[in-house]
């Protein structure tokens, strides 16, 4: 699913700064073989505050669509725009968060250690003090209801037991909303987020499902 948010912010002057309309027109991905395309002439739009579900059978191109919208998959033709501006590297990095289908974490770290590491790495020192970074971690943990497992190791599902699949997916979402994306793309999150979490106020970020 694709989520597009008016962020919940304490400073109202910045509320509309990250409001973003995502639109895509007649996009095609590079052909796999011959004249066959993974995506062909796909168009749509997501307005600020909307949550858009992408549904379909296995192999129909759902992940390919999200990869294209995130800028990870090169287009053969068509266009993707944010607030009318052609998608570019700068916009991808500052406006779009993408939660991949498969989670990649350090198995020996706890959930909270992972988020602290993410905050210290991603949040700029010019805008955040260390205290503010740690406070943001705590707010995100509370928003996504991860408090009960924040001190549990992540694990790898094989040699080290740890978080459940749903907890890992919510951790992936937590890492992506850390730097306040305007648009959040989430691959394969059906059943992971409860409805009240999807619509809950977000600390300078948003949550969506696919």
Domains and their CATH numbers in the chain: 2-198 (3.40.50.300)
Which sign does the torsion angle of CA 147, 198, 96, 27 carry? positive
Distance CA 50, CA 52 (A): 6
Report pLDDT digits (tens) over 118-128.
999 999 999 99
Distance CA 23, CA 69 (A): 9
Report pLDDT digits (tens) over 39-56.
889 999 998 888 888 888
pLDDT of residue 17: 55
Distance CA 44, CA 55 (A): 14
Model pTM score: 0.80
pLDDT of residue 161: 84
> Using alpha carbons only, what angle is made at residue 179 by residues 177 and 185, rounded to the nearest 5 degrees?
40
Report pLDDT digits (tens) over 51-106.
888 888 888 888 999 999 998 888 989 999 999 999 888 988 889 999 988 888 99
């Amino acid at each position: 699913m694709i989520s597009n948010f008016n962020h919940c912010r304490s400073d109202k002057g910045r509320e509309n700064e990250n409001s973003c309309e995502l639109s895509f027109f007649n996009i095609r991905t590079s052909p796999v073989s011959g004249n066959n395309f993974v995506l062909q002439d796909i168009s749509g739009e997501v307005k600020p505050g909307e949550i858009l579900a992408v549904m379909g059978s296995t192999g129909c191109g759902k992940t390919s669509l999200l990869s294209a919208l995130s800028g990870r998959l090169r287009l053969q033709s068509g266009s993707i725009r944010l607030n009318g501006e052609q998608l570019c590297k700068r916009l991808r990095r500052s406006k779009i968060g993408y939660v991949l289908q498969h989670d990649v974490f350090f198995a020996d770290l706890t959930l909270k250690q992972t988020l602290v590491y993410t905050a210290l790495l991603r949040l700029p020192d010019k805008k955040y003090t260390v205290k503010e970074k740690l406070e943001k971690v705590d707010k995100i943990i509370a928003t996504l209801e991860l408090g009960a497992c924040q001190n549990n190791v992540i694990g790898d599902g094989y040699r080290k037991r740890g978080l459940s699949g749903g907890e890992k997916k919510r951790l992936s979402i937590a890492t992506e909303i850390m730097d306040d994306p305007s648009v959040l793309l989430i691959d394969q999150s059906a059943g992971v987020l409860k409805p009240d979490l999807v619509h809950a106020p977000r600390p300078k970020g948003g949550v969506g499902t696919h």
